[in-house]
Amino acid sequence: MMKFRFRRQGADPQREKLKQELFAFHKTVEHGFPNQPSALAFDPELRIMAIGTRSGAVRIYGAPGVEFTGLHHDAATVAQMHFLPGQGRLLTLLDDNSLHLWEIVPHNGCAHLEEMLSFQLPSRPVFDGTSTPPSLSRVTVVLLVADGNRAALGTEGGSVFFLNMDTLTLLEGQTLAPDEVLRSLPDDYRCGKALGPVESLQGHLQDPSKILIGYSRGLLVIWSQTAHCVERVFLGNQQLESLCWERSGSTVVSSHSDGSYAIWPADSGSSLVLQPTAATMPYGPFPCKAINKILWRSCESGGHFIIFSGGMPRASYGDRHCVSVLQAETLVTLDFTSRVIDFFTVHSTRPEDEFDDPQALAVLLEEELVVLDLQTPGWPAVPAPYLAPLHSSAITCSAHVANVPAKLWARLVSSGEQQSPQPTSSTSSWPITGGQNLAQEPSQRGLLLTGHEDGTVRFWDASGVALRPLYKLSTAALFQTDCEHADSLAQAAEDDWPPFRKVGCFDPYSDDPRLGVQKVALCKYTARMVVAGTAGQVLVLELSDVPAEQAVSVASMDLLQDREGFTWKGHDQLSPSTGPLPWPVGFQPQVLVQCLPPAAITAVTLHTEWGLVAFGTSHGFGLFDYQRKSPVLARCTLHPNDSLAMEGPLSRVKSLKKSLRQSFRRIRKSRVSGKKRAVNTSSKLQEANAQLAEQACPHDVEVTPVQRRIEPRSADDSLSGVVRCLYFADTFLRDAVHHGPTLWAGTNSGSVFAYAMEVPAAATGSEKRPERAIEAVLGKEVQLMHRAPVVAITVLDGRGRPLPEPYEASRDLAQAPDMQGGHAVLIASEEQFKVFTLPKVSAKTKFKLTAHEGCRVRKVALATFASVACEDYAETCLACLTNLGDVHVFSVPGLRPQVHYSCIRKEDISGIASCVFTRHGQGFYLISPSEFERFSLSARNITEPLCSLDIRWPRDTTCDSYRLQESPKLSQANGTPGIILAPRSCDGSPSPARSKGAGDTMEPSEATLSPISMDSATSADTTLDTTGDVTMEDVKDFLGSSEEPQKNLRNVAQDEAHACTILIR
């Protein structure tokens, strides 16, 4: 009789409720430096800074933890940004000639950055024969007039238009056309030439009615808005780049395309100024590049600041990215490694103050943000508490350490402070301090470790919203490289002119690609870590609070085990430095293990309680006793056809003939296997049974989905010997009575090796074990049927929980594992999860992810999910990321699907490869070379911005009628979802840039509004539904947004002229 398995109708409501209390998907915050920045703005009253990007994203920063994110509907480059001081409003100009007004507004007890108005300017003149105003042309510069409710727009055609900021509409009758300016010029200067585009607009701090206008031709004009006439004209002949109006209004500074700047008197009696009082080319006399921007800042102590970008000698230093700071006789040329986007100074802007007295200089570069303290001699750099360039050297690997002990945390912080000590005379701190972080102190400290191409490992404080750098470990000093020669050359060039000073930490170039860090592992209880690199180097390091000078023990392990027929054709190993070496405070190397052949390390694990480190390459794996500094085990995993494993990732001698031969061999095998399957009678019987099941099955009952046919992988495939994972466990391997230390290794061909080890026990109260050799014997060997690569291995105790980390149980830091019941081992391959009983290694439970979902496993981790309803209830589940960018969560050890979320775009291969899960249901992945996206799978453990911003300005009720109406558009800024409201144009109709027809209205599907329903008994064979990036909170805001206009209108009268405290959740 045929038996069919049917899914039980309906879902267990109790389990569904519990899943909603345990699991919820959120993309919470973006860590790092914005990718491809294009614009910068600063609000001197609120002390907040905004950065715009080429993708249309808007990021606002204040004090650490104060962050706002927005995204323009069109992915256009943000060309300019301007804050309305003290109002929490931001005007952005995109390269598509559109203006957008953003505001930080309250919403449902919280607040967010919202686009309030938009205005699209025509890009070409309109010639229709009617009397129309002059063409707006392309906007080249924007100036917010000091009274705060108007903006001046300089255009490519030379006209200046004025915009009402409350309604974002043009003000009629106030346009300044080029002809009006030309009438004020002498005839010999006019001579038929156009003024060119408006290059700069500057306002007078004392008299808002005056505007300084600079044209590309070099002409400068002071325009009076009250008298509607030209007050003063400066006849410049050099192409203009930028302008700056000195605080008192008596001096104007202009910079030009030939690398010079000029100082003009603005308080002279004559309305026509023919020559500047001073003109200089700082880096002349040879041809120089243009000075793109210039600032003049006065000081009470005397000696004003002149700060400008560019102006370098074209022939010799034309490729340098520089900002020069000049005060009296002191000139410093700040030399950066990436292009200068913009800069500003933090100084006094109160009208009653007589001097600027700049405190700090902030320079936005293409790859980092640098802040200098201008009040301390030498103008040192101020360490950034956030916005650190994660990609100062390319990230090659990452790892997360949760629940870091307070003692280790303090030691890491102290080591980092000694790496970059601040001058004792420095009184300046981070100047961007707007807002207040209201988030509670994190309950546990989290470390994010990133390995880099230059051989460094950086430690980041990942406990909160701001990713703060703590400490940097460098391994390059242990090896002989060419960096010493480069340093000597740089030192020799320091005395030359111009007076260059290297600033910033972005350095994308590596001295040697073999230094690249491939794997890191840290024991948080003993402060020991392992750093493994590209050339087969494995470093065991220990944290020290005092500097030391010592030699490092070097050992080598041959993983080929004298196997014949294999010749390494890849890169050579790194040469270690000889003799005692000085090591600063921090992690200091104890042992260097060199794998032979020197292939890149693919897996590493550390067990400090046993004093062992295991590592794997594409050739095999080794076990090393770092306490006795002696090898324990070496196992070669190569197949006879693994020729590519001998060429290495940096090899340039791969044989085209070999690769073609292997390709044709695989094609021939697949054809032969296909013919064999065609005549297989058992497969015909299975097809007949499937057809019969479809006819006999009732249509109203959902059946178990048909599994995809998975082709077994050939054992002859290249790189089948790559070791993918290593794992230490104290479990039952030899028999069901005696447990002991074991080592598990999984390979690319689906092989699992389990070794039983004899480790001498340490004496009571001592961490060191006796000096006796450790023995390892092969206990089990498992070959998975389809030869899918083994991604992870974990042993579960008698209660189905993962074993604790080293020292957790012995120090009563975690619950001791159950050694009475039977243990099991969970083996995760790229195609399925399978639980085997121990010590018999018989299959117990499995879930075929590839057969059900058509995807492959890329990342796997065990995480603890705490309930939001009950503080004492938590479940340990298996989280996995697939090659399609989906995240699945399964119960352990039952392997029943719980939830399924779409997390990363399947095209984002680097993002999927960089994903790291945490122990508490969160994760990180790279959305750009410089940014980590943080997400949470836990309904309780969420790290997101929660802050306040004190905004004091009278809010006008007329503005609300022009706000964007609640026509929600789900959007995503660099991967972070949020609700951005569709704008309305200035006449109140839907904006053509954002409005869509009725057919384009987005309606949330049922799968979006509810979590996946899974039957707890039979869901292991059930296909998972797909949900999008939308969280439940976003959907609730989406459905409740229709009530917001009425609420806002009722509350406007009460909020007028009062301070509004804004919370961001």
pLDDT band at 884 (very low <50, low <70, confident <90, very high): very high
Burial (CB < 10 A; 0-12, 13-18, 19+), residue 693, is middle
pLDDT band at 894 (very low <50, low <70, confident <90, very high): very high
What is the average pLDDT across 400-407?
96
DSSP string covering 222-265: EEETTTTEEEEEE---SPEEEEEE-TTSSEEEEEETTS-EEEEE
Is pLDDT of 1018 > 50?
no
Q: Provide the token pair at 982.
A: 């569709």
Residue of higher predicted confidence among 329 and 147: 329
- Nearest to residue 443, comparing CAs of 745, 866, 27? 866
What is the average pLDDT across 517-536?
97
Sign of CA dihedral 224, 229, 231, 235: positive
Could you give the 3-state DSSP secondary structure of residue 176?
A: strand
Could you give the 3-state DSSP secondary structure of residue 669?
A: helix
Q: What is the pLDDT of residue 711?
A: 59
Name the CA dihedral angle for 225, 226, 231, 233, rounded to a multiple of 10 degrees. Answer: 0
Residue of higher predicted confidence among 65 and 1035: 65
Element (H, E) at 632: strand 630-636
How many C-beta atoms surround the C-beta of residue 1032 within 10 A? 16
Is pLDDT of 1062 > 60?
no
Q: How many CA atoms lie within 13 A of 955 on its CB side?
A: 23
pLDDT band at 1009 (very low <50, low <70, confident <90, very high): very low
The answer for 97, left when phi > 0, alpha when psi is -120 to 50, beta otherwise, is left
pTM: 0.83
Q: Report angle CA 146, 278, 200 to the nearest 5 degrees.
A: 30
pLDDT band at 485 (very low <50, low <70, confident <90, very high): very low
Strand bridging mode 220-224 / 229-234: antiparallel
Which residues, other chains included, contact 691 with Cβ-Cβ below 8 Å and sequence gap of 6+?
Answer: none
Q: What is the pLDDT of residue 223?
A: 92
- Nearest to residue 57, comparing CAs of 1032, 975, 1000, 1044? 975
Euclidean distance between the first and the last CA atom of the chain, given in angstroms as a whole number: 59
Q: What is the pLDDT of residue 666?
A: 63
Beta-bridge partners for 985:
none
Strand bridging mode 447-452 / 468-474: unpaired
Tokens 């919820």 belong to which residue? 24
Q: What is the pLDDT of residue 716?
A: 52
Q: What is the pLDDT of residue 197?
A: 94
Is pLDDT of 771 > 50?
yes
Is pLDDT of 424 > 80?
no
Q: Sheet holding 537-544: strands in order across?
A: 517-523, 528-533, 537-544, 586-596, 553-558
How many C-beta atoms surround the C-beta of residue 165 within 10 A? 21
Is pLDDT of 336 > 70?
yes
Mean pLDDT, the chain, as a whole number?
82
Q: Which of 137-151, 699-713, 947-961 has the lowest mean pLDDT?
A: 699-713
Residues 1014/1020, Cβ–Cβ less than 8 Å: no
Residues 881, 913: Cα–Cα separation, whole Å: 10
Q: What is the pLDDT of residue 719?
A: 82
Q: What is the pLDDT of residue 195?
A: 87
Is pLDDT of 422 > 70?
no
pLDDT (tens digit, 9 = 90+) per residue, 14-33?
999 999 999 999 999 999 99
Q: What is the pLDDT of residue 1033?
A: 38
- Nearest to residue 858, comparing CAs of 829, 821, 878? 829
pLDDT (tens digit, 9 = 90+) per residue, 958-991?
444 444 433 333 333 334 333 333 333 333 333 4
Highest mean pLDDT among 102-106, 133-137, 230-234, 921-925: 921-925
Highest mean pLDDT among 148-162, 928-942, 995-1009: 928-942
Q: What is the pLDDT of residue 268?
A: 76
Q: Residue 170 gets which letter from DSSP?
A: E
Residue of higher predicted confidence among 814 and 465: 465
Q: Provide the token pair at 805.
A: 């980390």
Q: What is the pLDDT of residue 899?
A: 96
Residues 940/868, Cβ–Cβ less than 8 Å: yes
Q: What is the pLDDT of residue 146?
A: 77
Q: How many CA atoms lie within 13 A of 452 on its CB side?
A: 26
Tokens 């058992």 belong to which residue? 682
Q: What is the pLDDT of residue 646?
A: 63
Residues 925, 446: Cα–Cα separation, whole Å: 16
Residue of higher predicted confidence among 723 and 1003: 723
pLDDT (tens digit, 9 = 90+) per residue, 60-87?
999 999 999 999 998 899 999 999 998 9
Residues 606/529, Cβ–Cβ less than 8 Å: yes
For the chain, percent of residues with pLDDT exceeding 90? 59
Q: Report angle CA 915, 918, 920 to the nearest 5 degrees.
A: 145
Q: What is the pLDDT of residue 955?
A: 56
- Nearest to residue 214, comparing CAs of 180, 256, 247? 256
pLDDT band at 811 (very low <50, low <70, confident <90, very high): confident
Q: What is the pLDDT of residue 1040?
A: 41
Peptide bond into 285 cis (omega under 30): yes
